[in-house]
Amino acid sequence: MEPSFLKPSLGSRVFDLCNVMIMLVLSFAMLYPFINLLALSLNDGADAARGGIYLLPRQFSLDSYMLLFQNKRLLSGLGISILRVVVGTTTCVFMTGLLAYIVTIRGFSGRKMLRLLFLFTMYFGGGLIPTYMLMMKLGLINTFHVYWIPGLLNAYYMLIMASYMQNLPESLSESARIDGAGELLIYFRIIFPVSLPVFASIAVFSSVGHWNAWFDVILYNSNGHWDTLQVYLRRLLLEVEALQQVADQQLAYSKFRNISPLTLRAATSMVVTVPIIFVYPFFQKYFVGGITLGAVKG
């Protein structure tokens, strides 16, 4: 016979039911925008203009996706976007993490001044024109390097990493110094492994920022040789909207007769969002804390 104190009470059951209902409502509220965009992207453009599409497409059509993928420049832009995410995220996490470790070394007398110096850049910037002139003087205009070199060090990410590293046991680095390890060896062999959760979080933030970036591409890449996927999709969307508004270009607009800016915008959003959705689960496991338990040397 099961003890009575193990049986959930009526109040506990009602509480669990309310929690489940609230979680279901919140989950649907978060998933509905993506489901709605997917339904719009798979619907006929002329029919989608009538409205009333919520969860499922009313007239199934792949014309929006066919328009997106019919140009070979899309694959080129996709490759450049992936390369930017990989290079930009790797260098940003590595350099910013190293800076965060430097400002947390208690024996470094200039760590407070260095932190204040980078904190100053969060509130005061040089402006768009001076920044453009700096990129031009450095020879970064119309090059791939303009995508990742300006983002090597991020003050906000540095503060997050430094706050995490400050909570690590000081005995970790002290014992390594006693054994003769240098600061770089301590950073790579001790600090980095036990700080994987914060490094993974910053990697997600940085990769999403690089993946969605488009303004710096337009600003610094005037020749179009290093156009990313986002810029190409934006340009294609503007072309479709312009052709729809010009009444005397029916011949040019004929190939877009089953496509509307609404469905093309939805298809563009899905193409840009889906890669991030697939990448995020691989970093989610590192968000769990407690990885430093038992790491202190005895």
pLDDT band (50, 70, 90) for residue 254:
low
At residue 60, φ and ψ (nearest 5 deg) are -65, 135
Average pLDDT over residues 254-282: 75
Q: C-alpha angle with apex 88: 87 to 89, nearest 5 degrees? A: 95
Average pLDDT over residues 205-232: 87
Q: Which long-range contacts (CB under 8 A, 24 or more apart) does 71-75 make?
A: 71/232, 71/236, 73/227, 73/232, 74/229, 74/232
CA separation for the pair 113, 224 (Å, rounded)? 41
Contacts of 268 (CB under 8 A, 6+ apart): 68, 233, 234, 236, 237
CA separation for the pair 68, 232 (Å, rounded)? 9
CA separation for the pair 135, 146 (Å, rounded)? 7
Q: How many residues does the chain have?
A: 298
Average pLDDT over residues 233-249: 64
Question: How many of the other CB atoms lie within 10 Å of CB of 130?
Answer: 10
pTM of the model: 0.75
What pLDDT score was predicted for residue 110?
A: 81
Give pLDDT tens digits for 157-206.
998 888 888 888 888 888 888 888 888 888 888 888 888 888 888 888 89
At residue 107, φ and ψ (nearest 5 deg) are -85, -5
What pLDDT score was predicted for residue 297?
A: 42
Q: Does pLDDT of 92 surpass 90?
A: yes
For every residue of 254-296, DSSP letters joined together read GGGTT--HHHHHHHHHHHHHHHHHHHHHHHHGGG---TTTT-S
What pLDDT score was predicted for residue 72?
A: 73
Tokens 């402006």: give the residue. Answer: 127
Smallest CA-to-CA distance from 227 within 219, 217, 235 is with 217
Average pLDDT over residues 246-261: 54
